[in-house]
Amino acid sequence: MSMSAPHETLIRHRSLSHPRPSPTHVFAYGTAGFRCAADLLESVVFRVGLLAALRSKKLGKTIGVMITASHNVETDNGVKVVDSQGEMLTSSWEAHATTLANARNEEQLYKALLDLISSEKIDFNSSGHVVFGYDTRPSCPVLVKTLHDGLDSMVVKETNAGLVTTPQLHYLVRCYNTEGTKDSYGEPTLDGYYRKLAKAYTTLAIGRPLLPALTVDCANGVGSQAVSSFIPIVTPSILPLILVKTATTTRGALNHDCGADYVKTRQTSPPGIQMIPGQRYCSFDGDADRIVYYFADGRGTFHLLDGDKIATLAAKFLIDLVGKAGLQGAVKVGVVQTAYANGASTEYLTETLKVPVTCTPTGVKYLHHAAESYDIGVYFEANGHGTVLFSPRCLSLIETSATSPTASEASKNLFALTQVINQTVGDALSDLLLVETVLLHLQWSPYDWDASYTDLPNRLVKVLVQDRTIFETTDAERKVVQPEGLQGRIEEVVARFEKGRSFVRPSGTEDCVRVYAEARTRKGADDLAQAIASLVFDQYGKGPKPALFK
């Protein structure tokens, strides 16, 4: 039956079976989509199904939906929409998602749908296709059924990709939409994903002396399934891995005392991992879109190799390959960071590697967009989320410009890197292969990698404030323009510390501001953090002072 609008009775009926947790609960679509306690999410997932179907009809493209809460505790869950090129949902549709999620009743919801169809000029009779996936959380099966109810109400084709990492779903969406074109990104199946990575990594690794085995903490999440599926395809002999924290069916284990976020924030290895000095270790997060590396030295001291260290390693290798391929001057390599990047990494990039660095506000969409302005754009957040983007012009030059055996070999390796790197989004497995490639080619130990530069000691402090909305920033969140006069006082304090740097930015989700401080010494960083946080708290704070300042 042809319809020019959604079936009102069906949508009302199904919406009633997936009620809002309360009429006053407010949902907001952020960088990670919607994310909260899983038992609050059912109405939102149903409505995201409606939205994703309309987005697909609007574009005439495949759209993705991922059910995950990444590094959050197991009792949380979330849902986000993946746009047609495997990127994050465009901002204007984030607002549409928030409107649908917050419609208080079935009448409001149906009106919001009609308004969306009208404002976006969507032909409801056009076809649509939505591919969806989910992680290992116990709440996923119910939410998948809920999502189906939303999609089915809008008459679109559905593809259940099953248990997948978040970056795998991003990959699938781009593959569906580029299949059969000159921009084909690969085969839109998980096998296609694994084979693409395996073929490229084999090209990069074959014939080179093996490094010692890498221990991979899979955060007791879906990443363990992904790596386990990948190993037999790539041939374990060229990528020796030891998988730990793979308890995907143990209730409460996901992200508990393990994973990239745990390692980054605690600055220690997960309990149960006995670190051997000089050996490499890495941790994924729960949906495998972040990775951090680490090792212990001979004295047992823990060393973190975070997103900043991965970005600098990748940039060094890419600049070297571009030079060997004879593309220096023709291909512009750049790195994108946020204000949270360690100052020592920025100095190493600009002073030692002589590579341009762009600083953007916090949020993957800002980094990704800025990276597109380079021929080869490297972006990583310090938390380990990031990737490398290659422009179409760069890809063309890599394939056609080699004029010598050395240049030909470098071009072959550059092309293989474009295949091993997931250019849609940060991907822990893909980024693992990138790091292992560089270490293999350079024959570097973790000591060598870490010695590139020494991180400046830093401290991140949360300060509760009466009203976070009075804080406004500029210069990629590095300077405060409101309240007036605060930036001047911050700069006066910072000037007293050698290699001092500090900034204040409001949280996007709670009534607090975050104070970042770094300096040449650990005491300097702590004293600077205390001084700036006290300055903010004394004038704008609420509640008890943070424990650090008592």
CB 50 within 8 A of CB 11: yes
Annotated binding site for Mg(2+): 70, 285, 287, 289
CB 90 within 8 A of CB 51: no
Residue 4 pLDDT > 80: no
Q: Which of the following CATH numbers is that of domain 458-549: 3.40.50.1820, 3.30.310.50, 3.30.2010.10, 3.30.70.3400?
A: 3.30.310.50
Residue 84 pLDDT > 50: yes
Annotated binding site: 70, 285, 287, 289, 381-383, 505-509, 514
Tell me: the pLDDT tens digits for 90-129?
999 999 999 999 999 999 999 999 999 999 999 999 999 9
Q: Which residues pair with 65 in a beta bridge?
A: 81, 132
Q: pLDDT confidence of 308, banded at 50, 70, 90?
A: very high
DSSP secondary structure letters along 290-302? -EEEEEE-TT--E
Residue 236 pLDDT > 90: no
Distance between start and end Cα atoms, the chain: 69
- Provide the whole-model pTM: 0.94
How far apart (Å, rounded) are the C-alpha atoms in residues 545 and 514? 14
Tell me, what's the pLDDT at 528?
A: 97
pLDDT cut 90: percent of the chain above it = 91
Q: Which of 282, 164, 138, 160 is CA-nearest to residue 222? A: 164
The type of residue at 127 is: S
Q: pLDDT confidence of 5, banded at 50, 70, 90?
A: confident
Cβ-in-10-Å burial (0-12, 13-18, 19+) of 191 comes to exposed
- The residues annotated as belonging to the active site are 70
Tell me, what's the pLDDT at 2?
A: 42
CATH superfamily of 191-304: Alpha-D-Glucose-1,6-Bisphosphate, subunit A, domain 3 (3.40.120.10)
Residue 23 pLDDT > 90: no
CB 187 within 8 A of CB 201: no
pLDDT cut 70: percent of the chain above it = 98
- Please give the mean pLDDT across all residues of the chain: 95
Annotated binding site for substrate: 381-383, 505-509, 514
How far apart (Å, rounded) are the C-alpha atoms in residues 224 and 158? 26
Q: pLDDT confidence of 85, banded at 50, 70, 90?
A: very high
Please list, in sequence order, all residues whose beta carbon lies within 8 angstroms of the beta carbon of residue 513, skipping any fewer than 6 positions away: 462, 463, 465, 468, 471, 504, 505, 506, 507, 536, 540
Which of 4-13, 234-243, 454-463, 538-547 comes out lowest in average pLDDT?
538-547
Residue 549 pLDDT > 90: no
Residue 414 pLDDT > 80: yes
Tell me: the pLDDT tens digits for 367-407?
999 999 999 999 999 999 999 999 999 999 998 877 899 99
Which of 327-331, 498-502, 544-548 comes out lowest in average pLDDT?
544-548
Tell me, what's the pLDDT at 3?
A: 56
Domain at 307-450: CATH code: 3.40.120.10
Tell me, what's the pLDDT at 305?
A: 98
How far apart (Å, rounded) are the C-alpha atoms in residues 284 and 136? 14
Helices (H) and strands (E) in the chain, counts: 18, 19
Domain at 8-163: CATH code: 3.40.120.10
Residue intervals of the chain classified under CATH 3.30.310.50 are 458-549
Tell me: the pLDDT tens digits for 309-333?
999 999 999 999 999 999 999 999 9
Query: Tokens 């179409």 map to which residue?
Result: 392
Residue intervals of the chain classified under CATH 3.40.120.10 are 8-163, 191-304, 307-450
Tell me: the pLDDT tens digits for 336-348?
999 999 999 999 9
